[in-house]
Amino acid sequence: MRARIAGTGSSLPGLRVTNDDLGKIMDTSDAWIRNRTGIGARHIAVEETTASMSIEAAKQALEQAGIKAEELDLIIAATLSADHVLPPLSCEIQSALGAVHAVAYDLCAACSGFVFALNTAQAYIQSGLYKNILIVGAETLSKLMDWSDRSTCVLFGDGAGAAVVTAAEEGIFAGVQGSDGSKGMVLSCGGRPVHNLFADREPEDPYVRMNGQEVYKFAVRTVPKCIGQVLEQVRLQPQDISLFLLHQANQRIIEAVAKRLGQPMEKFPVCLEECGNISAASVPILLDQVNRQGRLKSGDKIILAGFGAGLTWGAIALSW
């Protein structure tokens, strides 16, 4: 059996902050942000939490899949910005949905998180262990931004996306994933330092810091390569793929990948113009938007790809 995506959902905070809005409060401009990244706006949590957005997205995905929460066997939440250290975000989602039979746990692989979670779901379904799985990618990145650092804070946003996957004859047919921890510091965010009765270490920098150019070079090199590996596994050519849904970090990265694969930009939908980069939530939000626009037809072959901190990367080929 394969993991088939049976329903999707997404949720963005109500507050929409445009580049011009940011230009009024810091030394930046719509022209700089748009030209370098393709981002025009982002949604920022005020009342919303990572859990509240996740739950809303999950409910939509369950409704579209026609599956009751009690039928879920597993919930995986991909996030780097849960509301609490404990309990896990996935357990909060389980409780709110009443998914009483589900096992729930979180997975952190930054911007590759949703793709890694989907690969995990595929493995469980293929093994016969679980049938109905909810995957959520959700972030409140605005709380991890240094709002005095214009080189990072203009890039990221908040939101959540979800997918319900079920055991079926058709679905995910190939996946590739990888990590290179030796380059971890090009995109980092400190945690809590050791602080106990015996030690009291210096606090770490609690904000997201990025060497943008290194991450950019990594992305344009690695993403086409791992998509190529997935296609090779199943003996398909890029032209056989209807849509490529990539992590939404930068329009120029997406264009470079399209060029490398020799495919037109129409096959690379984007939501970063409206949402910015939402790490693990980018791919499922884009997937939900494309799905609800009716751009996915039964039997279409699509690719999902994530890349980012870790460094981590992954791609999945599936039949819709």
277 catalytically annotated: yes
Contact in structure between 62 and 68 (CB atoms under 8 Å): yes
d(CA 163, CA 211): 31
Q: Dihedral angle at the C-alpha atoms of 236, 131, 269, 278, nearest 10 degrees?
A: -130
Residues in the chain, total: 320
Q: Which residue is nearest to ligand UT7 (CB)?
A: 212
Contact in structure between 168 and 188 (CB atoms under 8 Å): no
Neighbour count for residue 131 (Cβ, 10 Å): 18
Short-list 94, 105, 14, CA closest to 54: 94
CB nearer to ligand UT7: give 65 or 154.
154
Produce one character per residue of 166-175: b if its CB has 16 or more CB atoms within 10 Å, e if not: bbbeebbbbb
Piece of the chain touching ligand UT7 by CB under 6 A; list 26-34, 120-128, 220-228, 232-240? 26-34
Q: Looking only at residues 166 through 195 of this chain, which bind ligand UT7 when binding is defined by CB under 6 A?
A: 187
To ligand UT7, the closest distance from the beta carbon of 277 in angstroms equals 5
To ligand UT7, the closest distance from the beta carbon of 264 in angstroms equals 22
Total residues interacting with ligand UT7, rule: CB under 6 A: 21
Q: Looking only at residues 202 through 221 of this chain, which bind ligand UT7 when binding is defined by CB under 6 A?
A: 212-213, 215-216, 219
Owner of token pair 């819709």: 320
Check binding of 233 to ligand UT7 (CB under 6 A). Answer: no
> Among 14, 84, 98, 151, which residue sits at the site for ligand UT7 (rule: CB under 6 A)?
151
Rg (CA), the chain: 19
Check binding of 105 to ligand UT7 (CB under 6 A). Answer: no
> Among 15, 16, 28, 95, which residue sits at the site for ligand UT7 (rule: CB under 6 A)?
28
CB nearer to ligand UT7: give 100 or 265.
265
Short-list 216, 220, 238, CA closest to 229: 238
Check binding of 292 to ligand UT7 (CB under 6 A). Answer: no
Q: Looking only at residues 31 through 90 of this chain, which bind ligand UT7 when binding is defined by CB under 6 A?
A: 32-33, 36-37
Short-list 52, 103, 56, 111, CA closest to 79: 111
Q: Which residues are catalytic, by number?
A: 111, 247, 277
| Residues at the site binding ligand UT7, with contacts judged by CB under 6 A | 28, 32-33, 36-37, 111, 150-151, 154, 187, 212-213, 215-216, 219, 249-250, 253, 277, 279, 308
